[in-house]
A and B are shown apart, each in its own frame.
Chain A
């Protein structure tokens, strides 16, 4: 019975050509070629750096969304959460009032603390309330959004201390060795995210949960803890994105973070993560976020479509990406 013939050549293939993993990169190359044809200014270092910097917020949030979606969940509240966290952070900075690093640290701690709390709330309700994540985060999306409107009394929450703004400014506008800080932050977040998703037991459990919850449960995976934690990770990512976002404008308004959930989920799906869970691709997500910003950039540089229609184009992209994924899946 112990026949060994079948084992020949049974080594694990490490470099398989997976179209699904490759397609975001192909799309990126196509877009860059298209962009350079549309406008000669497109293919300049300054323009591309600008695109990458602007994509940082969505990329950071989308890294968190990769965890949520790979686990079979969904978080629609990220945009509202970002607005609320930004608002509370600015209010904290104003309240503390100083123009020193201590004030800044206090504001940042408030931002991260609140985003963890928001993520934990989403996670606990989804896990212990046994409610569809779509419904839970639709609800918290409304809650977070109206809280920021209420805090701003319908107007704008602005950093009042000009010195503090000056101190905080480099986090968005500064660079290290010529690389803008937001890009560094987003690469670090993506790197840590990849490490957690691919190299730790927790990451393995996320994928198992997204593949088949029952199998995970029967295999002794602590599914409640895993499910709660993915939303906390999403919260932390939103918090980090806000830290980079606030120095850009120095204010939060009721429209801050509008449609970020669409962009984050689109980046994740364009990147090849399966919307039904079980496959998570951090690298693809990063490319997805850059693709979205490139499309917006090309729209601005060209005159084909009004830049006011960016949201429509992004909405179209997620639908087309899903259609492509489905046809790739069928083609197998």
Chain B
């Protein structure tokens, strides 16, 4: 037992002050009475039993003295000391990663961790400092070396689970750096220890406050929307993982724009991953949501311990009209095949008219048939029978009636393409460049078709003109053309990869817009305005919520006019497969300032979905071993202040003091209530005698 503020004991001077006030009270008020005859006897009685009676009379004084002593003691802040269980400088690491949202302990693991952390603070020695680190995606210091435990508790209480992959190693390194400032430090980690043990070595003792006990979790581990290679349809790829040790049955519900479009019951073996493909997504949808519900499909009740990973979102890239520029003297077969491609617009131009004014950069694919310009455009290129050597490939001669070599059955470009009956009259002899792979091998190692990524641009080279073969007469031709176009144009938009929570995303401000308005999954809206007017991109980092974010440009007061193409020889759109070239130039890709963009933020992290608690010992092994009892000899003891009890006592004393002070009034009140009750209960029967009673009272009651 000790006192934190012994100077407050000076308040005991109030005790003689109170006594003095009682002495002053002896100057009594004089009241004249007819005779003191009866009072004298009474006072004599009081004095006859002086000690006990005086004590009784001074009950108020006693209570007040007691109260004064109690309050002084309270002000002196008495403490009970005991050996401290923690180091003097404590670094508290609280895991706030997604797995801490698991509800196997109620209400969730983070709440249990916070409770354990706050409870552990009681073991802190007197004057000990506490730093609090939230271990989320990155380590974040929420309280730095403070002795104010109230602030520490508030900081701990303010932690919220983040749907992110936690980086405990980062947090531990930061904690070690904080602890290194002190001679007597300790790291206390409140975590479920789920996930891999971080690869760090710490020169500080580490203790773990383990939370969590369940492992029942099934999660969506991956989600993607892909176009088929020809770019005709879209499929949804979902990967569901069961991290539990028992098999589980769940229902997978796919919704597009909030409308369920697919529901499948999936049986998940323990510790396995199951891939689910949903083909033929409806057209015109912007995003899909995949929900992993319980077997009965009840969305209101969590089917496993972690609900965070039971939903995922994917953005379906918009179907964009793609443009193909055919530079050719005219090939009706090719033009026909290309014109049947869905979602494409075919433009044709003669090689002689091809030049910079053609603006090949406006096209998604440029096809050169039997011609090559001096400067290759920086666009995906399909070269057909290149007349000369170029970066697309070296032409070393001509092949006459080349046979087709052995085909790779896994080649995506040859999917559904049967070339077994194709005969080629003449082909260019090409040398396979190092950036390409052979798709259709020819004789003597000379490829008839190869494809690859040249300078980051999808490029394919066909060694023969289709019309110089019977390929256009076969079913394989349009399929091959579609596959080639799909491959070279990326099979549609590249799948937009979902962001991880907290990842910053760079958003482009379209022309004519002054900023971006971002609608978050919870309905809130953020508006982004670039720091400088000329900046065309902004970075958005508030992506901590899971779901689909919609980005809308903020249109300027007057919408800017769409840039028009420059004049000059321009390709013309070919109408409905009719061969022909020449015509007007395509307008650039329209930049609609009001067209919304979207991006999705998903957890999709098997590591966080694996919620089985890890071994605290393995985490503790990362730190320095503590020797012996673990208490440094010069470590101050922990102190428990007992003021709440004293305050309670003081309040009680105050109540007693009031009762003693008002005891006469209270007794009078009690008597009057009792007499009133008596009168009420006695009823009118007794009321008859009231008059006689009154006269008796006035006469003194002696007859």
Binding partners A and B = no
Q: Which residues of A contact B (CB under 8 A)?
A: none
Q: Which residues of B contact A (CB under 8 A)?
A: none
